[in-house]
Every structure is written in C-alpha cells, then in structure tokens.
Amino acid sequence: MREPLKAFAWICKIAAVVIWLPVSCITIRWDIHDLSAPSHWRESENWGTPAYVHSIHLEIAIIAMLALMSVLPNRWLVFSRFVFAVSLLVVVLIAICEFGRPPDWIISSLELLVFAPLLLSLILSFVRQRKGEKIGYI
C-alpha cells in the first residue's frame, strides 16, 4: 500500500512543479510588465488606479505562493498537523477563490486539474507520514 502512495505522490508533486513554475514565471513577468506599461492591452476600466495595482500585487503574491509550495519539499509542509493544516488551507482557499470566478464548467474543471496535483501531493505525503513512513522530498 505504501509504494503506490509514494509513486502517486511523486507524480502529483512533479505535475505541480511542472504546472506552477512556468505559470508563475509567465504570469509574474506579464503582471510586472502590465504595471509599468503606458496603456493596458486588456483595456481594463480600472487600469492605472490603486485598485488595479493592488489586484496585480495580490495576483503576484498568490502565484508566487503556489509556486513556492509546489517547489518546497513536502516534508517541510507536513511535518506537523498545524503546518499541514495551514499549507492545505492556503491551497484550498486559493482554489476556492479561483473557482468562484469563471461561470463556465469547462474552465472550472481545467482549474481543478491545475490545483489537484498540489493538493493530492500534500495529502498523500501527510497520510504516509502519519503511518510512520519517513518522508524525503515527497
């Protein structure tokens, strides 16, 4: 039972890294470019206002947090129940906020595929750690 959990946790962690590192690099680069651009390509109605700047900073922080959590070893994210609860709560709250935006079920299911590897990796590593197994990276 332990080997399939470990293999699936590895697959989920690798998928989370493959998803969130490129997303963070691209998104953060575009957001920083949008902040310094003389005009906005989306023609947002609140472009250039403090609300727009704060929303871009929040988006950068969220993407950076998800990228960091996907790269950090799971043993750091599940070594205690409190740390596991905080890290799981961060990912779940971000996922819930993202699911609330699009009205289309296709986009929602695609977002589920983006968040699922990180969530599953954390949960499987926590389950393995609670069973007494030594957690290395995953």
Comparison of pLDDT for 59 and 48, the residue scoring more:
59
**Kindly report the CA angle at 106 between 100 and 112, in degrees rounded to 5?**
60
Q: What is the pTM of this model?
A: 0.81
Mean pLDDT of the chain: 83
When divided into structural domains, the chain yields a total of: 1
Three-state SS sequence of the chain: CHHHHHHHHHHHHHHHHHHHHHHHHHHHHHHHHHHHCCCCCCCCCCCCCHHHHHHHHHHHHHHHHHHHHHHCCHHHHCCCHHHHHHHHHHHHHHHHHHHCCCCCHHHHHHHHHHHHHHHHHHHHHHHHHHCCCCCCCC
Domain with 98, as residue range(s), is: 2-130
6-35 residue pLDDT tens? 888 889 999 999 999 998 999 888 888 877
Q: Is residue 136 part of a domain?
A: no
What confidence score (pLDDT) does residue 84 get? 93
Q: Is residue 53 part of a domain?
A: yes
The residue behind tokens 């080997």 is 3
Q: Is residue 49 part of a domain?
A: yes
Q: Is residue 84 part of a domain?
A: yes
What confidence score (pLDDT) does residue 49 get? 78
Q: Is residue 135 part of a domain?
A: no
Q: What is the mean pLDDT of the segment spanning 100-111?
A: 66
70-91 residue pLDDT tens? 999 988 888 889 999 999 999 8
Q: Is residue 42 part of a domain?
A: yes
Q: Which residues contact 42 (CB under 8 A, 6 or more apart)?
A: none
Q: Is residue 46 part of a domain?
A: yes
How far is it between the farthest Cα atoms of the chain? 57
